[in-house]
Chain A
Amino acid sequence: MRRRCIAIGTLAWAAMLETARRKDVYVVWFLSLFMLGAGSVFALMGVRGLEIFLRDLALTVVNLLSLIVCVWLAARQVPEEISRRTLFPLLARPIRRSDVLLGKWLAVWVMATGALLVLAGIAAGELALFGVPVPRIFWQYLILRTFSFAVIAALVVALSLVTTPAATVTLSLLLTIGATYFAGTLTLVYHQAASWTRPLLVAVYYLVPHLDLFDLSKKTAFGWPPIPAWVLTTLALYGAAYTAVFLGLAHLRFRRIAL
């Protein structure tokens, strides 16, 4: 177990070092500059009395940009290893293919969380400059967003093993945005749907990860009180289960790929 942890940590370290060196992280700095620029425009326009709107806008931007970073980083990790043939010297070591997957997933998760913290930090700083208070639930928003990145990174890594990187990015964005914004609406559709389609809708409802559950941005915008710890714990377990499922599917595919 110790050996496997070292291997996974080492692989994640290499992936992060490479991402940093190839200047992929510059995209986060550009996005940050974009947010600062947008904030300056609002400052010029005057924002008194628009606290909720500003918080909502800032968190929507943070959600979207951090999601793009997560998907974009995850989509190319394993396919690039295969196409560059850098997998051979890796797999010639006493490690398993699943260690490679876990190392890559861990690297993406950490980097996406890092990007989220940078972007959210800028958003919080700008809100503070405008005199807009950041409610306590903001910390829970960050924690749950981090959990959702674990699920999304696993989903994207799995998809990247069955399709091309460009298709992976497109599909992943569609699926994650769909799962975040439309999965919850299935209950509404259920009541309007024909009776024979209802079991199908129920199946879809329970199969699709409800990423909307991990999104506290609206509650943060409206200044809700923090959610109870047991809800947070349950969501952590829910996220861990989906992460395990997606990583398991990725492993089933990856172990069969002839290099």
Chain B
Amino acid sequence: MSAAIEIINLCISYRRGWWMPPTVAVAGLNLRVAPGEVVGFIGPNGAGKSSTIKALMGFLAPDAGAARLLGREAGHPESRRRVGFLPEVALYYPWLTARETLTLYGRLQDLPVPLLRAQTQDLLVRVGLAGREDERLRGFSKGMLQRVGIAQALLGNPELLVLDEVSSGLDPLGRRDLREILTERKRAGVTIFFSSHELSEVAQLCDRVVLIHHGRVAADRRVDELRSALRRYWVRFRASEPPLPATRVGEFWEAEFGRLAEWRQALERLRSPLAEVVDAGEREGILEDYFVRVVDPARRHPPVDTPPLHGA
């Protein structure tokens, strides 16, 4: 089966003037997204996420390499026919109404008029703009514009959604609506490729996380696998001298472990008259710790059992 997104050795650089050396944004990026997969594309600012997405959508020509959308060369107009796209900064025509905006994009997509009318109404209601369909966008807040952006991306029931900074500007209600919409689309088999700095959202929605740094894939992990790798086991105990490496927290000692076996061994060792276990348990690891560890290994962070990286 052909991939929904295929990026082969993509290289992008920007020249700020003929006398200046080019700035490398993407340096030989390889990525494959299977149909129906939901992939979070994360990375620090300037990592090359937006440049990669722009190359995918044909907004800029790469220096080298290739990108394919649903089996077609990126940049070819037909490659975008079954793709819904949300740009990083959602700016739309301020003098058009929300309904006219969707009508404009739907006509450009060549959707039949009756279908377009029905979808426009449904989508505007779905993204929480019911009753404001005929207001001009110049009076909309950033979050409302983002909702219009999400609605336009969903026009025509695309097979692939490419969403750049999808939750930017949305309030908690908007984020919940967005999660529901994306979960619905995921169940319907739509491939979703999105970049976001909201790592909790990425962890909730995605099957896979691709972390890019300095224009290359620094990590490519399945979320369930990553979640179990990041799971932490801890024990809080009272002792005059800790029998294992631990940190003092008030009147107690606390120790944390990356592996279940180590934790069990520690609990065994603490069954002695010199120590008293107060509490013990496990907690989910957070993607942010992993992000920091990969992107900035020099930074101090809690000791975690870093899973081996592949795809780097």
Binding site for B on A (CB under 8 A): 3, 6-7, 10-11, 13-14, 17-18, 21-22, 84-86, 88-96, 256, 258-259
Residues of B within 8 Å of A95, CB to CB, are 77, 108
Residue of chain B at shortest CB distance from A8: B108
In the complex, the chain B residue whose C-beta lies closest to that of A92 is B85
Chain A residues with Cβ under 8 A from B57's Cβ? 88, 91-92
Q: Are A89 and B105 in contact (CB under 8 A)?
A: yes
Q: Is B280 an interface residue (CB 8 A)?
A: no
Complex CA gap A18/B61 in Å reads 30
Distance in angstroms between the alpha carbons of A89 and B145 in the assembled complex:
13
Chain B residues with CB under 8 Å of A11's CB are 108
Q: Which of B57, B78, B92, B110 has the most CB of A within 10 A?
A: B110
User: Is the pair A18, B105 in contact by a Cβ cutoff of 8 Å?
Assistant: no
Given contacts A95-B108, A96-B77, contact A86 B59 (CB under 8 A): no
Partner of B95, one of A6, A17, A90, A92: A17
Residues of chain B having any CB pair with chain A under 8 Å: 14, 54, 57-61, 77-78, 80-81, 83-85, 87, 89, 91-93, 95-96, 100, 104-105, 107-110, 136, 149, 152
Inter-subunit contact A258/B91 (CB<8 Å) = no
Q: Given the interface contacts A10-B104, A17-B96, does A88 sit within 8 Å of B59 by beta carbon?
A: yes
- Tell me which of A3, A90, A91, A95 has the highest count of chain B C-beta atoms within 10 A of its own C-beta: A91
Query: CB-nearest residue of chain A relative to B103?
Result: A10
Contact residues in B for A18 (Cβ distance below 8 Å): 93, 95-96
A-B contact pairs, 18 of them (CB 8 A): A7-B107, A14-B104, A17-B96, A18-B96, A21-B136, A84-B91, A86-B92, A88-B87, A89-B85, A89-B105, A89-B149, A90-B105, A91-B58, A92-B57, A94-B77, A94-B109, A94-B110, A259-B54
User: B83 is contacted by which of A13, A86, A92 (Cβ under 8 Å)?
Assistant: A92
User: Are A17 and B100 in contact, with the CB atoms below 8 A?
Assistant: yes
A92 touches B80 (CB 8 A): yes
Which residues of A lie under 8 Å from residue B54 when comparing CB positions? 258-259
Instruction: Select which of A3, A22, A89 is within 8 A of B152 by beta carbon.
Output: A89
Contacts of A92 in B (CB 8 A): 57, 80, 83-85, 87
**A93–B93 Cα gap in the complex (Å)?**
16
| Bound-complex Cα distance A21 to B96 (A) | 8
Cα–Cα, bound, A179→B81 (Å): 43
A96 to B84, CA, bound (A): 16
Cα–Cα, bound, A256→B59 (Å): 10
Contact check, B60 vs A259: say whether CB atoms are below 8 A apart. yes
Lowest 3 CB-CB distances: which A-B pairs, in order?
A92-B85, A88-B87, A93-B108
Complex-state Cα separation, A154 to B233, whole angstroms? 69
Question: In the complex, are the beta carbons of A93 and B59 less than 8 A apart?
Answer: no
Q: Is B77 a contact partner of A89 (Cβ separation < 8 A)?
A: no
Residues of A contacting B58 in the complex (Cβ-Cβ under 8 angstroms): 91
A7 touches B108 (CB 8 A): yes
In the complex, what's the smallest C-beta–C-beta distance from B114 to chain A, in angstroms?
15
In the complex, are the beta carbons of B59 and A91 less than 8 A apart? Answer: yes
Given contacts A92-B83, A93-B80, A94-B80, 20 further A-B contacts (CB under 8 A): A7-B107, A10-B104, A13-B104, A14-B93, A17-B95, A88-B85, A88-B87, A89-B87, A89-B152, A90-B105, A91-B59, A92-B80, A92-B84, A92-B85, A93-B105, A93-B108, A96-B77, A258-B54, A259-B59, A259-B60
Q: Is the CB of A258 within 8 A of B14?
A: yes
Bound complex: CA A86 to CA B94 (Å): 10
Given contacts A86-B92, A92-B85, contact A10 B80 (CB under 8 A): no
Query: Which residues of B sit under 8 angstroms from A85, Cβ to Cβ?
Result: 87, 89, 91
Bound complex: CA A13 to CA B60 (Å):
27
Minimum C-beta distance from A102 to chain B (A): 13
Given contacts A7-B108, A11-B108, A92-B80, contact A258 B60 (CB under 8 A): yes
B92 touches A89 (CB 8 A): yes
Evaluate contact between A21 and B95: CB separation under 8 angstroms.
yes
Least distance between B51 CB and chain A CB atoms (Å)? 9
Cβ-neighbour of A10 out of B78, B91, B107 (below 8 A)? B107
Which one, B81, B95, B96, contacts A94 given CB within 8 A?
Answer: B81
Within the complex, the shortest CB–CB distance from B214 to chain A, in Å, comes to 20
How many Å lie between the Cα of A14 and that of B83 in the bound state? 22
* Max chain B C-beta neighbours (<10 A), residue from A11, A21, A22, A88: A88
* A245→B93 CA distance, assembly (Å): 30
In Å, the complex CA distance between A134 and B108 comes to 44
Cβ–Cβ < 8 Å partners of A96 in chain B:
77
Report the separation of the CA atoms of residues A94 and B109 in the bound assembly, to the nearest whole angstrom: 6
In the complex, how many angstroms separate the beta carbon of B282 from the nearest chain A beta carbon?
43
State the Cβ distance, B194 to closest chain A Cβ, in Å. Answer: 14
| Minimum Cβ distance to chain A for residue B82 (Å) | 9
**Smallest CB-CB separation from A93: which chain B residue?**
B108
Please give, as numbers and ranges, the residues of chain A lying within 8 Å of B95 by CB-CB distance: 17-18, 21-22
- A residues within 8 A CB of B105? 89-90, 93
